[in-house]
Structure 1
Amino acid sequence: MDEKHIKYYSHHLDRDIEMLVYGNWGYPVLLFPTTLGRYYQAKDMGLIDSVRGLVDSGKYKIYCVDSIDAESWYAKHMNPQYRILNHVQYDKFLTNELVPFIRHECNVGKIGVAGCSFGGFHAANFAFKHPEQVAYMVSMSGAFDIRSFTDGFYDDTVYFNNPVDFMPNEQGWRYGHMKIVLGTSDWDICLASNIRMSNILNTKGIDHWLDIRGWEKHDWPLWNSMFPHYLSRIL
């Protein structure tokens, strides 16, 4: 499997963001790491190897992006207002720099986004905020209410990065083109979060697949079985 290490300079973040890219061609999927994870986490934990056949056959090209969670949502040393503003800069990096680069490189109008656990939040938050840039969204054991990270602080910036808040007020037709997967399991600590998000999408008439698996825990064995299954079905 072809692997490339990239340092992408972001003007919004004023620094290089590191990535690992897998595959020479195929439909692009931007893959977010879990809590405080780095760009190489998906490789180290077997998630990339789980989709090796789909990448080697040219169906997908996977972009494993670095996070800045330690400077945003998990920066407990920082005033919550500034944590959120740091995430806003990360979102601008994705929206204005990285995703247009990926779309151009792969010659597509929209991309796929995916992630496990906190990466599932990132994937859903980006897709729901920017449906014009996303055709496929896969969240595996994600949670969708970010308010526990803001220590009681709440403003429009929190609202527009909190899917359980802003999605009930969105227009469902904006997501009619998007294939959405919410993957969870009976033993998943995020089971209730996925059911809640599914109910919100149902209320808005947004088609999606809520996949609740059997007795498996919120961990990599579950996600390594989910990821190839979902990618094999959504294209």
Structure 2
Amino acid sequence: MCGRLSQYDGIHDFVAALSMPNALVNNAGDHPFERYNAAPTMQLAIFHQEGDYLHADMVRWGWRPHWAKDRAAPINARVEKVAHGPFFRAIWPHRAIIAINNWFEWADEGGPKKQPYLIRRRDQAPILCAAIGQYPNAEIPPSEHDGFVIITADSAGGMVDIHDRRPVTFSPELAREWLDPDAPKERAEQMVLNQGEQTEAFEWFRVDRAVGNVRNQGVGLLTPTGD
């Protein structure tokens, strides 16, 4: 996953996609986010569950443990290592969902510049990506160390031709189970390893190279192009 995505709907659209009956503690606002070209370090809306409440918070994309000051904060965590490696040990229990509208990848097609592609669900419903992170809750106030990472797995099918990694995404039912703080860690690991959505749920197409500049925003970045 190259590190660019869109999160332009509002939080209530994403709650509807989750079909979650829990009362919402909304710290993300009620207006559409309109982030058509979101990049690492940006504040993005994530969901996490605390007791019986679903929380929506704006959290920085990217996280590193306090002792890893010699490297940039990763934005992704490989599914093969995330549950057992030391780097993410502190946040592995803190499961979250980031709901997005699409993500972007860049493919080498032999030209002078890589070609950007937009990837979205075929039904254009929000994409529910598995994430873990450090974020505020009822007992811990917001901190400069807050952040989240998206869990990624190997791509499959035709998506491999665009990029060899992709987010682990869930159906609404599995997303709700992933958020459940009572779900055992072993079950959570099996979910991300074996129960992510298949490539067939997605479609992809070329978009304008303007998406390569993070300062460019707007719905025009989502338009298919034949170039």
Asked if Structure 1 and Structure 2 have the same fold, meaning a TM-score greater than 0.5 normalized by the shorter chain, the answer is no
Larger proportion of strand: 2
Higher RCO (Cα < 8 Å, 6 or more apart): 2
Task: Using structure 1 for the length normalisation, give the TM-score.
Answer: 0.27
Task: Using structure 2 for the length normalisation, give the TM-score.
Answer: 0.28
